Structure 1
Amino acid sequence: MQRITFGTSGWRGILCEDFIFENVKVVTQAIADHVKSNGEGNKGIIVGYDSRFMGEAFAREAARVLTGSGIPTFLCVRDTPTPVISFEILRRGAAGAINFTASHNPPEYNGIKFSPSWGGPALPQTTNDIERRANEMLGEICYNECSIDDAVKKGLLVEIDPMQDYLDDLAKKVDFAAIAKLGTIAVNPLYGTARGYLAEPLKAHGVKVVQMNANRDPYFGGFPPEPSEKYIQDFIKLVQQDPEIALGIATDGDADRFGIVDGDGTFIEPNYVIALLLDYLVRVKGMKGGVGRSVATSHLVDAVAKMHDIKVYETPVGFKFVGELIAQDKIIIGGEESAGLTIKGHVPEKDGILACLLVAEMVAREGMPVKALLERLYSKVGRYLTKRVNLTLSPELEEIFPERIAATPASFAGEAVKEKITVDGNKFILQDGSWLLFRKSGTEPVVRLYCEASSEERLQALVEAGREFILGKG
C-alpha cells in the first residue's frame, strides 16, 4: 500500500490508482482523530470540493466518516473555491475544512487539502501528525462511518452554500464602483469553481462582462486548469480580438490562483502583479505593514518595499507560510510567483478571485493598462525580469545532486556570488543583484531553476549558467 504523503498543498494522487475511496476514508479518519486530539471536534469541519470527477462522492464519504466520529459536518452543496472555504472556516469558527481539490493539476488528479481553524493551509506540524495517523491505518478498516440520513437526523450534517457571505465580504474590500468605469472585462474561470464568483458580481455592479469556459468540465477543456500563458491561449486570443475589452482575468480550477491578460492581449507574469499591487495598496489605499513573499518570488517586490520603507518577509515555498504572516497581521500583502496572493484583513489563503478584482480596481483607478503601470514602476525602482525552467536529472545526476548542490561556486555567468540563502532550496544572490534558485522536486527527478536579472541577455546567461551547474557542460 503506497504511503500517504502531504506536499505543499495536501495529499494528491491519481484517480483510481492511489486516490481511491478507501484511502480517502483513512485520511479523513486521520483528520478527524487529529482534530479531536486538539479538543476541537465539537466546532465542526467544513467539507468542500472542486469541479473534478467524483468531487461530490468523495465529499459525501468524508462526511460519513466525520459524522461517524461524532464531528459536526458542514457539507458544501456545490463545487466551492478554496479561498471561500477558508473564509467559511473563520466565519463559522470551525475546527477546519477538508477540501477535495488538486488545484491546477491535470484532470486525472484529485487531492485532499486540510485547513485548520486559523483558516490557512495546514503547517508541517499538522500535516505530519495527519500523515502518521493515516499511514498507521492503511490497509485496515479502522474508520467510523455514519449514513448520510442518520447524520442528518442526529443533527451532525448540514448542507451549506458559503457563496453569498463571501461575496458580501468581498464587496467591502473591492471598489466595484471604480471597476464599473473601466469598460468591458473578459472573465475565464477555466471550467472551475470561480463560476459565479467573478462574472456575476461584476455584472451586478454594472460592469460589462465577456465570459468563456464558464461551464463545469472535469476535463478542463483538455488542459490543466492553470491560468498560465501556456494554457489560456484561447482567452488571450479573445482579448486580442475584441478592442472593447480593457482587461482579462482568469482563475485556476479551485480559484486560488490568478491569471492576468492586459487589454492588448499581453499575459502579465504573476511576479509583477504582486509587486504592482503592493505599490497600489500602499500608495493609493494607504495600507500599512510588511510584505511576504516566497524565496522563489521576484525581488521586484523587495524594490517596491524599499521604496515605501516596509519590511520584507522571505518564506519557504508553500502558501501556508505566507498565510501564517497574514494570520499574524504582519503584512499588507503576501504572494508567490506561482500566482497566489492575499491581503491584510482577508483570508490567510491564496485567493485568485480577490487578486483578479484588485487588479481590475487598480487599472480602473490608475487609468492605465497593466503594462503601462509596470513600466512606470520600473522607472522608479529598476527593471526585474524572471524565468523558471525545469532541469531533468538522469539517474546518475540525481545520485550526485546533493553533493553538487552543496557546493557554492565563486560566480555564475561572470558575476561573483555575494550570498547563499537556504530557506528552501539553494538561492545564490550575485554581486549585481541578480540571483538563481535551485529547488529539487520531491516527487520527480527534476530541479526547478529560478533566475532573475535586469535584462533579457543577462537572464538567459544565468539560465545557461544554472543549467551547466546542475547538468554539466554539453
Structure 2
Amino acid sequence: MAWKDDYQRWKEFKELDPDLRQQLDELSSNETRLEEAFYKPLTFGTGGMRGELGPGINRMNIYTIRKAAEGLAKYIENQGEEAKKQGVVVAHDSRHQSPEFSLEVAKVMGAHGIKTYLFTSLRPTPVLSFSVRHLGTAAGVVITASHNPPEYNGFKVYNEDGGQVPPAQAESIVEEVNAVDNELAIEIVEQSELEEKGLLQWMDDAVDEAYLSHLKSITLNPDVIQSQADDLKIVFTPLHGTAYQFVKEGLDQLGFHQVTIVEEQAKPDPEFSTVDSPNPEEHQAFTLAIEYGKKENADILIGTDPDADRLGVAVRGSDGEYTVLTGNQLGSLMLDYILANKTPLPDNGIMIKTIVTSELGRAVAAYYGVDTLDTLTGFKFIGEKILEFEKTGAHQFLFGYEESYGYLISDFARDKDAVQAAMMAAELAAYWKSKGKTLFDALDEIYQRHGYYLEDLHSITLKGISGTEQIEQMMADFREHPLEKAGDLKVQAVEDYATSERTYLADRSVETIDLPKSNVVKFLLEDDCWCCLRPSGTEPKIKFYFGVRGATREESEQRLEQVKDAVLKRVE
C-alpha cells in the first residue's frame, strides 16, 4: 500500500498545478484508478518514458517531466562543463500538453545552467535527431508518444550522436532520475529569466533548411524522377501530426509536384479525430487517403505517424483497389532498390535490421553481397551500431529498418525517419512506373527470386497492474514450457534474450547471443520460419511476431496460419 504515501504527498502539496489538483480530486473516490496512477514511477522502455496523461507518479504530467529532465540534467553535469556548454535541443509533437512539457524541460535545464534550444512549433522526431548533430548539443529531447492513443504523451531522450539513448546510457540517466526524492520539489527557472540569461534560445527555420538540404542527398535516380514526376500522382496524409511541412517541401524540391494532401488530416489535432488510431501500421488510418487516391487516380498513398518517424504506404493492385504494404514488404522494396542502384557498393557495406524483422531482408542483402546485422527491437540499437561502425570503420551503413514501419536511408539522422522514407517511397514508385510496373509487381519479383516470406503480428493489450502480471506470467510460461512444434513445423532452437542463450533442441547445445539482455523469447522453426514473444516497452501490450517462408504464396499462407494458431491457442 506504499502508493498511498505518494498519493498523500501529492494531495498535501499546496502548490500543485490547479488542473492536476482538479483531476486528483476527481480520482479520489476511485481507489483502483488512484493506485494505478501512483503504484510505480514511469520507467524508460524501448522508446524512453511514455504513459497516460494525468496526476500521479505513473502518469505524464509536468512533475514527471521535471523528474525525467532533472535526471538528464544531472547526467549531463556528470559529463563535465563542456557538455553543459553544448546544451540540449528540445522538440515536441502535436499532442496534448506537448508544448508545455517541452518548456518544462528548459526550465529544469536552466536551473542547472544548461542552455536549451527550443523549437517554436512542432517538429518531426527525425528533425530533432538531426538537430542534435547539426547544433552539436550534448543531448536532445522530443516530447511525443509517437502513434499511441490521444491520452498518452512521452519523453524521448537522444544522445550527443542524435540516436535514442542505448541501454548503458539509459541506465545512467535512470539512476539519476530514480535518485530524485521528490518530483514536486525540483528547482526550475521561469521562461522570462531563462531568456534574459541566454539559457533559452528559440529556434528559427535554419535547422529545417539544413535538414531539407540533406534530404536531397538520398536520391539515387534524379533522371527517373524528372521523367516521371509530372505523371506520378501521390496522396499524402500526416495523420494530424508533424510531417506536413517537411514531406511536402521535400517532395517538391525533388520535383514531385502531383501531390494531393488529405486535408482533413493535414492540421495538427491532439485528438486524432479522423482515425481510430494515428498509426500507419493500422490499415484503417488510410481510409481517407484511399478515398482521395481513388478520386485522384493516385499511384501511391503515403502516411506518417504523428511524430513522423514511421511511414506507411498503400499501392493500387491489378484489381484497382489500394492495399497497405507491411513494414517488412516496404523495407524489402527499399533495400532491394538501394542496393541495386547504389553503385559501386562498398566492400564493407552492411544492412541492419531487428530480430523481429523479416528474414527476406537478409536474403535481399546477401543477393547483392551485403552483410546483415540483427539488433534487438528498438531503433536505438540500429543508431548505436551506426555510430560504432563510424568510429571503427568496420562497416559502411547502407540501410536500416524494422518491421514496425521504421526506416533510415541516410545516417544524417540517427533514428527512423519517415520523411526520408517518404522521399524514397516516391522515388521507388517513379522508378517502377518508368518500367511499366507497380510496387506490387516489384515485390512479386523479389518473392520469386528469394521465396515467399510472409509475416504477421498479434498484440494483446493488458492494462493496469493485473495486466502487467498477466504478461509476466505468459513470458514465464513460454520459457518454462517452450514450444516443440508449431503446426507441422518443428522447433529447432529457442533464443532467450533475457539469458542471452540460444539452445538447440536436437542436442541441447547452447550458444551465446551477442546482444544486450532483453525480455524476449524467439523460437526458430524449420525452413526459415520463426515466432517471437516480446512485451512492448512503450504500451501495455504483449506482442507475438510470426515469420514464415515457402516456395509459393499458398504454402507460406498455410504455414503462417499454422504457426499463429499453434501459438495463440496456447495463449488462450
Distance in 1 (alpha carbons) for counterparts of 2:539 and 2:430: 43
Whether contact under 8 Å (1:401, 1:470) holds in the other structure is no
Distance in 2 (alpha carbons) for counterparts of 1:133 and 1:57: 23
Bigger Cα displacement from structure 2, 253-262 vs 141-150: 141-150
Matched, 1:7 2:52: no
Q: 1:68 to 1:309 in 2, by over 3 A?
A: same
Matched, 1:300 2:344: no
Moved over 6 A (4+): 392-397
Matched, 1:384 2:425: no
Matched, 1:151 2:194: yes
Deviation at 1:211, TM superposition (A): 0.2
Letter in 1 for 2:488: G
Deviation at 1:345, TM superposition (A): 3.4
Matched, 1:219 2:219: no
Whether contact under 8 Å (1:67, 1:73) holds in the other structure is yes
Residue number among 314, 334, 338 corresponding to 1:261 in the alignment:
314
Matched, 1:311 2:371: yes
Deviations 1:153-180 (A, max 9, x none): 2222111133211111101223666445
Deviation at 1:101, TM superposition (A): 0.5
Matched, 1:408 2:446: no
Residue in 1 that maps onto 2:296: 242
Deviation at 1:441, TM superposition (A): 4.1
Matched, 1:322 2:382: yes
Letter in 2 for 1:27: A
Structure 1: gaps spanning 5 or more residues: none
Whether contact under 8 Å (2:237, 2:289) holds in the other structure is yes
Report percent identity of matched pairs.
30
Residue in 1 that maps onto 2:21: none
Distance in 2 (alpha carbons) for counterparts of 1:58 and 1:360: 35
Residue in 1 that maps onto 2:558: 457
Residue number among 280, 287, 295 corresponding to 1:233 in the alignment:
287
Deviation at 1:348, TM superposition (A): 1.6
Bigger Cα displacement from structure 2, 98-107 vs 329-338: 329-338
Whether contact under 8 Å (2:136, 2:160) holds in the other structure is yes
Whether contact under 8 Å (2:236, 2:301) holds in the other structure is yes
Deviation at 1:53, TM superposition (A): 1.4
Matched, 1:24 2:81: no
Distance in 1 (alpha carbons) for counterparts of 2:480 and 2:541: 17
Distance in 2 (alpha carbons) for counterparts of 1:147 and 1:404: 51
Whether contact under 8 Å (2:218, 2:410) holds in the other structure is no
**Residue correspondence of structure 1 range 150-299 to structure 2 within 5 A:** 150-161=193-204, 162-174=207-219, 178-179=224-225, 181-182=228-229, 183-204=232-253, 205-212=255-262, 213-221=265-273, 222-228=275-281, 229-243=283-297, 245-263=298-316, 264-286=321-343, 287-288=345-346, 289-299=349-359
Distance in 2 (alpha carbons) for counterparts of 1:410 and 1:22: 48
Residue in 2 that maps onto 1:111: 154
Whether contact under 8 Å (2:45, 2:538) holds in the other structure is no
Deviations 1:182-211 (A, max 9, x none): 422111111101021112332343521100
Distance in 1 (alpha carbons) for counterparts of 2:356 and 2:474: 24
Letter in 1 for 2:533: F
Whether contact under 8 Å (2:492, 2:524) holds in the other structure is yes
Matched, 1:55 2:85: no
Residue in 1 that maps onto 2:77: 36
Q: 1:202 to 1:22 in 2, by over 3 A?
A: same
Letter in 1 for 2:566: A
Distance in 1 (alpha carbons) for counterparts of 2:215 and 2:537: 36
Deviation at 1:390, TM superposition (A): 2.3
SS at match of 1:41: helix
SS at match of 1:163: helix
Distance in 2 (alpha carbons) for counterparts of 1:77 and 1:396: 43
Distance in 2 (alpha carbons) for counterparts of 1:85 and 1:443: 20
Residue in 2 that maps onto 1:341: 407
Residue in 2 that maps onto 1:447: 542
Deviation at 1:259, TM superposition (A): 0.6
Structure 2: gaps spanning 5 or more residues: 1-5, 7-39, 390-394, 498-517, 551-555
Deviations 1:389-409 (A, max 9, x none): 124788778546414333333
Letter in 2 for 1:380: R
Point out the structure with the larger helix share: 2
Deviation at 1:4, TM superposition (A): 2.9
Distance in 2 (alpha carbons) for counterparts of 1:220 and 1:100: 17
Whether contact under 8 Å (1:122, 1:320) holds in the other structure is yes
Residue in 1 that maps onto 2:417: 351
**Residue correspondence of structure 1 range 30-109 to structure 2 within 5 A:** 30-39=71-80, 40-109=83-152
Deviation at 1:238, TM superposition (A): 2.2
Whether contact under 8 Å (1:179, 1:207) holds in the other structure is no
Letter in 2 for 1:163: D
RMSD over aligned Cα atoms: 2.2
Letter in 2 for 1:117: E
Letter in 2 for 1:194: A
SS at match of 1:346: coil
Q: How many pairs were matched up?
A: 470
Distance in 2 (alpha carbons) for counterparts of 1:437 and 1:20: 34
SS at match of 1:266: strand
Residue in 2 that maps onto 1:422: 496
Letter in 2 for 1:214: A
SS at match of 1:126: helix
TM-score by length of 1: 0.93
* Larger Rg computed on CA atoms: 2
Q: 1:406 to 1:308 in 2, by over 3 A?
A: farther
Letter in 2 for 1:275: S
Whether contact under 8 Å (2:102, 2:143) holds in the other structure is yes
